[in-house]
Structure 1
Amino acid sequence: MSDYDKVRVGKLVLKGESSKAKKRKHKHKDKKEKGEKKRAIVDEDAVKHGGWWRATKFEDIVGSVAIEFGKQTYIKSLDNGLFTLGAPHDEGDGPTPEEIFTALAINERHIALKSGYGRYLRVEKDGIITGRSEAVGGLEQFEPVFQDGKMALQAANTFFVAIDPEDDAVVALRKSVGEAEVCSIRTCAVREINAVDDAPVEEQGSLTEVELNYVKKFQKFQDKKLRINKEDSSSLKKAKDEGTLHETLLDRRSKMKADRYCK
């Protein structure tokens, strides 16, 4: 029996537990909970990948992870200590056990990756990624690099991990990041994805929708016709990142003299 066959997935059922939920005494609390469920956040991308969500920062990369290149294809461990690109998955399916690794943080920038065979990944002198190390040294460390919503994985030789197009081997041979080096690290770690979105109703949606919502809320014209600023709205993204979104929105509305708080 291989190491991967030991994985078991089951549901815990407690003896005497009723299958029907007990009727609650506080009806007003039930109504509040129903309202919260309607506002729950759903990660559609994670749903398409069997619940495995994309890491967007270093702190997300911990525990069981899968390394995705392309669309729903993951790095797969082979029993000879090498790696290849696995077969494409159907929408809604997560990675197979051979495609799951364990991520360990070494420091604030670097991680180590252990395959299901209990060996650590490393980069060899020829740039091939292997998984035969029993301990973590310098060559077993990788750095996830995030930029502009994309990610690449830099090996200890300072080259970026990619899939060799000739034989689907996993290699680190290029110092620059192109389409072949862009990947995603996905994790199944528990996160508060179903938490209620506490953002005001006006701030839910795209920045274009947010601006429209605030114009509707604060417009002062009796004819109810919307006055939307037609100038380039790229400044809104920068303002949101810098925490000055409200001020920028007000400035844009003031130019249209469409806000009750404008001077």
Structure 2
Amino acid sequence: MSSKAVKPNKLVFKGDKDKKKKKRKHHHDSDARNDADALNNEGWVRADSLDDLVGPLFITHPSDPPICITTDKENRLLAYPLPELAENTKPEPVIVEQVIVGARLVGTTNSFTFKSCTGKYLGSDKFGVVTCDSEAISGQEEWNPAITEAGIAFQNVHGKYLMVDEIANGGFKIRADAEEVGFCEAFRVYCQARFKHKNKSEKKKALPAGAAEIDNIRKYQSWGAGRIHTTKEDERELKRARQEGRAAEAMLDRRAKVKADRYCK
């Protein structure tokens, strides 16, 4: 006698129909949406708010030629010339020394620190000398960025602004002794797309009183086989209730007057 277990037959009643197996659908739309989101989260985009300054940054200036802030192995801050780019092409860092990491100081809204790839902080003294060799944060390593029409300006603790200064040999030098914000003090900052601050979705506009009532009925009506039943009472009472902040209560009362609804009791 075979020891193999015999699977019991399924109990079938007269008149039962065979159930067809459902084929699994491939979610091409969701896959395409995910691919699009992944593409949108790649690369570098222009920072246009203070919240965008948290994370890896690429700080450039539209001088002639354009430059970007770069650190070297000796923790010196340099104005490195950018290569020529095709039209409508955004600049991106090509070496890790061109990436500066921004962080908001705890308990503040407008105070930031900026750290190089070697872990040293960007700072400036009262004479405007900019360095990037500090391992700890003090007042000289604090910056207050400001959003302007031309770009982002960086103010130090002494009230002076970071600037790009052209020197005699045709190069550029980074200083922090500008009194006001002008062209030389306005930087173009880029952040990684995946770290860019996403604004909260705007609140939906309030529906008219009648439309809001119908939407409420569709959501909560437990009878009528899908048919919408509304009261014939004047909608002006509903508008008045909305102004007084009791719209939900008024809609419940109006539903209760149409017919018995278990969710109205």
TM-score normalized with structure 2 length: 0.53
Q: Give 1:118 deviation, angstroms.
A: 1.8
1:84 counterpart (73, 78, 86): 78
CA distance in 2, matches of 1:116, 1:147: 27
CA distance in 1, matches of 2:75, 2:34: 46
Q: Say yes or no: does 1:104 pair with 2:98.
A: no
Worse-superposed segment, 120-129 or 88-97: 88-97
Residue 118 of structure 1 corresponds to: 119
CA distance in 2, matches of 1:192, 1:58: 10
Size of the alignment, in residue pairs?
168
CA distance in 1, matches of 2:36, 2:133: 47
Larger radius of gyration: 2
CA distance in 2, matches of 1:147, 1:42: 29
Contact 1:64 1:187 in 2 (8 A): yes
Secondary structure, in 3 states, of the residue corresponding to 1:181? coil
Residue 145 of structure 1 corresponds to: 146
Q: Give 1:37 deviation, angstroms.
A: 8.6
Secondary structure, in 3 states, of the residue corresponding to 1:26? coil
Equivalence map 1:152-231=2 (5 Å)? 152-166=153-167, 167-188=171-192, 190-191=194-195
Contact 1:160 1:173 in 2 (8 A): yes
Question: Are the structure 2 counterparts of residues 99 and 56 from structure 1 closer, same or farther at C-alpha, using a change threshold of 3 Å?
Answer: same
Residue 226 of structure 2 corresponds to: none
2:47 counterpart (50, 55, 76): 55
Secondary structure, in 3 states, of the residue corresponding to 1:98? helix
**What's the CA shift string for 1:109-159, capped at 9, x where partnerless?**
011111122211111232021011111111101111013363211122211
Q: Give 1:181 deviation, angstroms.
A: 0.8
Contact 1:74 1:95 in 2 (8 A): no
Worse-superposed segment, 123-132 or 67-76: 67-76
Q: Give 1:90 deviation, angstroms.
A: 4.5
Contact 1:152 1:184 in 2 (8 A): no
**What's the CA shift string for 1:205-242, capped at 9, x where partnerless?**
xxxxxxxxxxxxxxxxxxxxxxxxxxxxxxxxxxxxxx
CA distance in 1, matches of 2:80, 2:72: 10
Contact 1:151 1:184 in 2 (8 A): yes
CA distance in 1, matches of 2:45, 2:172: 24
Residue 11 of structure 2 corresponds to: none
Contact 1:63 1:189 in 2 (8 A): no
Residue 133 of structure 2 corresponds to: 132
CA distance in 1, matches of 2:172, 2:55: 25
How much identity, in percent, do the aligned residues show?
Answer: 19
Runs of 4 or more above 6 Å deviation: 37-43
Listed as ranges, the gaps of 5+ residues in structure 2 are: 1-22, 86-90, 203-265
Question: Are the structure 2 counterparts of residues 105 and 189 from structure 1 closer, same or farther at C-alpha, using a change threshold of 3 Å?
Answer: farther
Q: Give 1:97 deviation, angstroms.
A: 1.0
Secondary structure, in 3 states, of the residue corresponding to 1:135? coil
Secondary structure, in 3 states, of the residue corresponding to 2:67? coil
Q: Give 1:39 deviation, angstroms.
A: 9.1
Secondary structure, in 3 states, of the residue corresponding to 2:175? strand
| Alignment RMSD (CA, Å) | 3.6
Listed as ranges, the gaps of 5+ residues in structure 1 are: 1-23, 199-263
